[in-house]
Amino acid sequence: MNNPITLNRLLPWTWRRYIVAVALIAVAASLRVWPLQSLGSTLVWLTFYPAVMVIAIYGGLSAGLLGTGLACLIAIFGGPILVHQPFINKPADWLGLMVFVMTGTMISSVAEAMRRANVRARLEQKKAEAANQAKSIFLASMSHELRTPLNAILGFSSLLRNEAGFSDEQRKTLDIINRSGMHLLNLINDVLDISKVEAGQYQVENSVFDLGGMVREVTDLMRLRAEEKHLQLRLDQASKFPRFIRADAGKLRQVLINLVGNAVKFTGQGSVTLRLNARLTQDPHRPILIIEVEDTGIGIAAEDQVRIFDPFVQVGEQATQKGTGLGLAITRKIVELMGGQINIESTLGRGSIFHLEVPVERAEETELIIAKINLGQVIGLAPGQPEYRLLIVEDQLENWLLLKHILEPVGFQVRVAENGAEGVKEFQAWQPHLIWMDMRMPVMDGLEATQRIRALPGGREVKIMALTASTFKEERDKVISAGLDDFIAKPYRADEIFDCLVRHLGLVLVYAETPQASRLKPASLLRPEDLAPLSAALRQELTGALLQLDGSQIDASIRRISEQNPALGSLLASHAGQLGYTAILQALQPLAEETP
C-alpha cells in the first residue's frame, strides 16, 4: 500500500519547529514596519513576546531559545533597517533585553515540560489501549475455548436425557452433569461480563418487551428454589407498572434474577418480596421503573453494604457459599449503564431491601416482537417437504457430532467438512440448502470459506449460519457484515438450531409436547378441570388481571370466585400467593381459548 506523501514525512518535526520559529520572528519583526511603524524604536519587545510564546508552545525549549536569540539579534542590529533608528540606545534598553532573554528562556522551559508531559500521557494512553485490546482478544479466545467444550457437555447431556432406556438413577446423573455445566456456563458468563464492563465493551441493547411476562418468568424460575427452602416468594400486591416497555430486556432480566436469586440464597426462613412501581417524570412516556427486592434473611452489616458491590466481594459467614461475588458488581454496572441507580437498606439478622430505579420508555403491545413460544421437542419434518441438505463445517469432532445428532433424527441429510477449504469443496459437490459454519478452524477459517462460497455459482442463495463461541457484539456484527445470514452462539440449545432453520428455510417441523409443559400439569398443580366451574366472565377477568400482573385485581377476582366456590377460591389464592401465575394461566387457557 502506498502511503500518501504528507508534510510530516517530507519535513521531520525537528526542522519544522525551527522553520516555524524563524518565520514567526520574521513576522514579529515585519509588524514593526507595518502597521506599528508609528511606534518607532519604543516598546521594542511588544511583538517579540507573543511570537516567542507561540514558538515555545509549538516547538518546545530549543525552538523557543532560537526564537529568543533571533529576536535579540534583530533588536541589537535590525533597528536601523526596520525603523531607521536603533532599538537599543540607553543602558535601560540592555536591561530590557536581559529581562526578555530570561522570560523567553522561562517560557520555553515551561512549554517544553508541558510538551514532554503531553507526549508521555499520549504514550501511556496508547499503551493502555494496546493492553485493553490484548485483553479483549484474550477474552474472546478464552470465551471460545471454554464455550466450545461446554457446548458438547450441555448438548449431549440434554440429548441423552430425552432418550429412552435410561434408569431414573442414570437420568439423575445426567441432570447433575447438565446442571453443573449450566453452573459453569453462568460463572464463565459472569467473569466475561465483568471483563467486558472493565474493557468498556458492555452496551445497552433496547427493545420492546412484556415486563409483566418477564416478572412472571423470573418468579416462576425462582419459585422452585424458594419452595425447597420453604420460603414464600411474593409479588407485592400493590405493584403497578407499565406492562410493555422499551429497555434492555436481557440485562434487566439478569438484574432481577440476580437480586431475587441472592434474596432466596441468603434467606433461611420467612419470605422474599418483589415490588415493582413506576414514577412519572415530566415526559409521560418515560417513567422511572422502581424495583425492590425485600427479604427476611441474614442481612448485611453496615460496613459491608458498600463493599458488596465491588467485584469478587463476599461478606459475612456465607463468604464460603457458592458464588463468585460478581453478581452485584455486574448488577450495579448494568443499572448505571441504563442510567439508573441501586441502593440497599439492610439490618444484620433482620433482612435486606435492594432498591433500584431505572428510566424506561413506555411502549405499545403492537411494538412487541412476539417471542417464540417454546413448542417442545422436535420429532420430525412435516410431510410433503423437500429433502433438506445441511452441511456442517466444523473442525471439533464433539461439536459436529452433536449437531449431527440433533439434525439427523429429524430427517435432514447432513454432511460434515472439517475445515473451511473442505467446506468450499463440499458446497460445490453437494449444493446444500444451508451451511452451519464454525468461525475458527485450521487451514481456512469460517469468514474466508464464506467469502469463497459466496463467489461461487449458487453461493449467493445458500444460507450460511455462523457458529460462534464469542459473546462479543463486535464479533457478531463482523460475522453478519462479512456476508453470513445469521449466527448461533455456543453453547446453543437444540431449539435454537431448529428456530434458525424455520426462520431461514421456511420449513415446517412437527413438535412433541414439552417435558416441561407436561411436568407443569401434575395433580399437585392446577389442572384445567379444576377451573371448569368458573363462569366465562370470571375466567376472563382473572386472565386479564394475571396478564396485567395486577396484584389487587387478581386478589379481587379470587375473592369473587371464593364467594361462589370457596374451595376453588382457596386453591387459586394459594397459587397466587406463591406467584404461580403461569400455572393458573395455563390451567385457564384451554377453556379460555374456546370462548370467542
Which of 65, 140, 226, 308 lies at the binding interface for ligand ADP (CB under 6 A)? 308
Phi, psi of 276 (to 5 degrees): -125, 145
Residue 488 within binding range of ligand ADP, rule CB under 6 A: no
Per CB under 6 A, which region of 51-59, 262-270, 413-421, 459-467 contacts ligand ADP? 262-270
- The residue from 53, 82, 289, 326 that contacts ligand ADP (CB under 6 A) is 326
Question: Which range binds ligand ADP by CB under 6 A, 84-92, 313-321, 454-462, 585-593?
Answer: 313-321
Smallest gap from Cβ 331 to ligand ADP, in A, equals 7
For ligand ADP, the closer of residues 304 and 530 by Cβ is 304
Place of cell 450441555: 154
Tell me, by CB under 6 A, how many residues bind ligand ADP: 22
Task: Candidates 99-107, 136-144, 325-333, 392-400: pick the segment binding ligand ADP (CB under 6 A).
Answer: 325-333
**Region from 202-210, 327-335, 396-404, 547-555 binding ligand ADP, contact rule CB under 6 A:** 327-335
Q: List the end-to-end C-alpha distance of the chain, in Å, as a whole number.
A: 70
Closest CA to 368 of 243, 544, 504, 204: 243
Q: What angle do CA 166, 172, 174 make, to 5 degrees?
A: 75
What Å distances lie between residue 341 and 67, 210, 419, CA to CA?
Answer: 56, 22, 48
- Of 333 and 404, which has the nearer Cβ to ligand ADP? 333
Q: Are 51 and 58 in contact (CB under 8 A)?
A: no
Nearest CB to ligand ADP, comparing residues 100 and 266: 266
- Return d(Cα 162, Cα 156) in angstroms, integer: 10
Question: How big is the CA angle at 553 (ends 551 and 555), to the nearest 5 degrees?
Answer: 70
**Interface with ligand ADP by CB under 6 A: which range of 161-169, 314-322, 445-453, 555-563?**
314-322
Q: Which three cell numbers stand for residue 262?
A: 441472592
The residue (of 238 and 301) whose beta carbon lies closer to ligand ADP is 301
Interactions with ligand ADP, residue window 41-80 (CB under 6 A): none
Q: Tell which positions 288-307 bind ligand ADP, by CB under 6 A.
A: 295, 297-298, 300
Examine residue 311 and say whether the peptide bond preceding it is cis (omega within 30 degrees of 0): no
Q: Which of 148, 157, 158, 262 binds ligand ADP (CB under 6 A)?
A: 262
Touching ligand ADP, residues 142-181 (CB under 6 A): none
Determine which residue in the list 65, 247, 328, 494 makes contact with ligand ADP, applying CB under 6 A: 328
260 binds ligand ADP (CB under 6 A): no
Least Å from the CB of residue 312 to ligand ADP: 8
Nearest C-alpha neighbor of 471 from the set 109, 240, 189: 189
Nearer to ligand ADP, 157 or 262 (CB): 262
Residue 376 corresponds to which amino acid? G
Judge contact between 291 and 359, C-beta under 8 A: no
The nearest distance, CB 297 to ligand ADP, in angstroms, is 5
Nearer to ligand ADP, 329 or 335 (CB): 329
Shortest Å distance, C-beta 308 to ligand ADP: 4
DSSP secondary structure, 218-282, as one string = HHHHHHHHHHHTT-EEEE-TT----SEEEE-HHHHHHHHHHHHHHHHHT-SSSEEEEEEEEE--S
Cα 49 from Cα 31, distance rounded (Å): 13
Q: Which is nearer to ligand ADP, 309 or 511 (CB)?
A: 309
Site for ligand ADP in 347-366 (CB under 6 A): 352
Map grid coordinates 422499551 to a residue.
246
271 binds ligand ADP (CB under 6 A): no
The DSSP symbol for 45 reads: T
Query: Any contact of residue 315 with ligand ADP (CB under 6 A)?
Result: yes
CB 317 to ligand ADP: min, Å: 9
Provide the H-helix boundaries in 506-535: 515-519
Instruction: Tally helices (H) and strands (E) across the chain.
Output: 19, 15
Please give the residues from 180 up to 239 whose contact with ligand ADP meets the rule CB under 6 A: none
266 binds ligand ADP (CB under 6 A): yes
CB proximity list for 407: less than 8 A, separation 6 or greater: 390, 414, 497
Residue 103 or 324 with smaller CB distance to ligand ADP: 324
327 forms part of the interface with ligand ADP (CB under 6 A): yes
Binding window for ligand ADP (CB under 6 A); candidates: 38-46, 83-91, 320-328, 411-419:
320-328
Q: Which is nearer to ligand ADP, 133 or 318 (CB)?
A: 318
Helix (H, G, I), strand (E, B) or coil at 351: strand
State in angstroms the smallest separation of the CB of 136 from ligand ADP.
Answer: 24
Among 62, 314, 428, 548, binds ligand ADP (CB under 6 A): 314
Distance CA 478, CA 451 (A): 13
Q: What's the CA gap between 394 and 417, in Å, rounded?
A: 6
Strand intervals (E) in 92-223: 207-210
| Closer CB to ligand ADP, 190 or 210, in the complex | 190
CA atoms of 449 and 99, how far apart (whole Å): 73
* Phi-psi category of residue 267: left, alpha or beta, with phi > 0 → left and psi -120 to 50 → alpha: beta
Question: Any contact of residue 88 with ligand ADP (CB under 6 A)?
Answer: no
Using the structure block, give the residue that is written with the C-alpha cell 433461611.
268
In residues, how long is the chain?
596
CB of 354 to ligand ADP, least distance (A): 7
Distance CA 439, CA 478 (A): 11
The least CB distance from residue 129 to ligand ADP, in Å, is 29
- CB proximity list for 455: less than 8 A, separation 6 or greater: none
139 binds ligand ADP (CB under 6 A): no
Question: Which CB, 157 or 352, lies closer to ligand ADP?
Answer: 352
**Is 318 an interacting residue with respect to ligand ADP (CB under 6 A)?**
yes
Binding site for ligand ADP (CB under 6 A): 258, 262-263, 266, 295, 297-298, 300, 308, 313-316, 318, 323-329, 352
